[in-house]
Amino acid sequence: MLQALSRGFFHTLARSTTLKKLASRYGLRRHDSFARRFIAGETVDEAIAAARAVERRGLQVTLDCLGESVATLDEATAATKVYLEVIARVAASDVGRNLSLKLTQLGLALDRATCTDNLRRILDAAQPRDFFIRVDMEGSQYTESTLALFERVWDLGYRNLGAVLQAYLRRSEDDLDRLVGLGARVRLVKGAYQEPRSIAYHKTSDVDAAFIRMMQALLERGVYPAIATHDDALIDETRRFAAERSVAPDRFEFQMLFGVRRDLQHRLAQHGYRCRIYIPFGREWFPYFMRRLGERPENVAFVMKAILRDRDAAS
């Protein structure tokens, strides 16, 4: 039954504003809530504490203050201010200076010029404090505008930023040439959104094949690429290719999500590979959480158990 729950179902839930409001109000309150498996907490203090624990395990971190698709420019300005505060707080702490963000959080869907200004404010605060800012990739309606805005700020001379490419999009191999041409750092992922067949591969074997081609291009021609996957076969293939081409383990990194495959994260670090963990936090966690459920419908069984446990405890 669980297998029948499609990614589309979770993406529909992710867009529900009522559910989002309810979840944001109640979801992370309990320390044993299921969402906490994937989300470090609501506050920057909780994120820093989680980052510290991850770093103690020999891994690196990137912090993501959750939020996307804001509805007004005021919300975009507010999100920018939050990132400026996060930069100040992380700089005053002992954890790694690496953040991930989404451009629709900064107003990409509303006004590109404002979004560019907001990103520049963040980069201006980040650069002197040695932060690296990763611009996440969102649904395909934003692929071109995300890359164009990235190129614009790159042209303005910013270098403390990197982009993300999704192997499932047919266009991504061309985009890879574009970003490698700039000398920009790329994170390679399979892709987390629901996209039509006309622009995206749907067969697992086609996505994996594109991922391998792009991984190879990035290891050979890219600047410190990040191979972001929990897929054992793709990780093994990356390790095999790097060894065959004498690409040293400090010339690239693996990346994984907080709460996913801790065994694998640990094993890679033990074998001398760099592995960075993406640590999301904040009140706007619902769409992110729904995408994680959609990747692995078995997770729903855990959620159902947690809900039943809560109900039994309350009765």
* Residue 137 interacting with ligand FAD (CB under 6 A): yes
* Residue 257 interacting with ligand FAD (CB under 6 A): yes
Tell me the closest approach of the beta carbon of residue 172 to ligand FAD, in angstroms. 11
DSSP string, 78-117: HHHHHHHHHHHHHHTSSS--EEEE-GGGGTTTT-HHHHHH
Segment (H or E) for 286: helix 286-295
Scanning 67-75, 154-162, 187-195, 280-288 for contacts with ligand FAD by CB under 6 A, the matching segment is 187-195
Q: Which is nearer to ligand FAD, 218 or 314 (CB)?
A: 218
What CA–CA distance (Å, rounded) separates 139 from 146?
A: 10
Annotated catalytic residue 296: no
* Residue 229 interacting with ligand FAD (CB under 6 A): yes
Q: What is the CA radius of gyration of the chain?
A: 19
What CA–CA distance (Å, rounded) separates 26 from 277?
A: 26
Site string for ligand FAD, 267-286 (x = CB under 6 A): -----------x--------
CA distances from 35 to 100, 125, 130, 180 (A): 19, 31, 31, 36
Which residue in 136, 274, 283, 292 is the catalytic one? 136
Give the amino acid at 169.
L
* Residue 90 interacting with ligand FAD (CB under 6 A): no
End-to-end CA distance of the chain: 28
* Residue 189 interacting with ligand FAD (CB under 6 A): yes
Scanning 53-61, 79-87, 176-184, 252-260 for contacts with ligand FAD by CB under 6 A, the matching segment is 252-260
Structure tokens at 6: 């499609």
- Choosing from 28, 99, 115, 164, the residue that interacts with ligand FAD (CB under 6 A) is 164
* Residue 255 interacting with ligand FAD (CB under 6 A): yes
* Residue 305 interacting with ligand FAD (CB under 6 A): no
Beta bridge pairs of residue 162: 134, 185
Q: Which is nearer to ligand FAD, 87 or 278 (CB)?
A: 278
What CA–CA distance (Å, rounded) separates 167 from 39?
A: 25
- Choosing from 34, 132, 150, 193, the residue that interacts with ligand FAD (CB under 6 A) is 193
Annotated catalytic residue 136: yes
The helix/strand/coil state of 278 is strand
Residues that bind ligand FAD (CB under 6 A): 136-137, 164, 166, 189-193, 228-231, 255-257, 260-261, 278, 292, 295-296, 299
Residues acting as catalytic residues: 136, 187
